[in-house]
Amino acid sequence: MKLSLSELQKDYRHEPMKFDEVLELKSTLMERYPEEVLDVTPVHIKGMVSVETGGDVMLYAHIKATLTVPSTRSLTPVELPTDFDITEFYVASQAALERYEESDVVLVVEDDVIDVDKAIADNLLVQIPMRVLTKAEREADQLPEGKGWTVTLEGQAEESDSKSVDPRLAKLKDFFDDDSSKKGKQ
């Protein structure tokens, strides 16, 4: 879905344009992000586009879709239902950016075209969490391990790892302690 900024400013100054559509973004997302997105259901969007004072355009949309993404632990496909809202502002020039807070999403329109499909696809990608696990991986008490290796979560290093020292480096363990004690005696 593509919208013209100038047509919106002309035709929808007094009343917002409402929409309720289903977008096919599977090929776009899988082409742009082949490592992150394995599949996407049709994306249902419902919302409105309104022209604000000064000619800026506000896009509000409620988005529902199911993404299939790889597990961050095993790369097994995981279905990730999404259901969220977005609000974005579209302006005609860089100077208009000063009217908004830093927390607002404001985009400068190029060539008079607002690409709603791209905005929705970008926001779907942002919804993918940093850690995605299958149901079995979430329920498992133990992390995967093998001969000579184990998976640990960041910030939860095992005590034995932090206390054990490679025998070849054992002499270096107290290097700074000896050096600072000599300086204190002089």
> What end-to-end distance do the CA atoms of the chain give, in Å?
78
Residue 13 reports pLDDT greater than 90: no
Most confident of 9-13, 131-135, 136-140: 131-135
Name which of 51-55, 75-79, 115-119, 173-177 the model is least confident about. Answer: 173-177
Residue 18 backbone dihedrals phi, psi, to 5 degrees:
-100, 150
Q: Tell which residue, 83, 55, 81, 50, has the closest CA to residue 67.
A: 81
The 10s digit of each residue's pLDDT in 68-80 is 999 988 889 999 9
pLDDT of residue 29: 92
The 10s digit of each residue's pLDDT in 14-57 is 889 999 999 999 999 999 989 899 999 999 999 999 988 788 88
Please count the helices (runs of H) and the strands (runs of E) in the chain. Answer: 6, 10
The encoded tokens of residue 148 equal 């000579």
Beta-carbon contacts of 137 under 8 Å, excluding residues fewer than 6 positions away, are 71, 73, 74, 76
pTM of the model: 0.71
Mean pLDDT of 171-179: 68
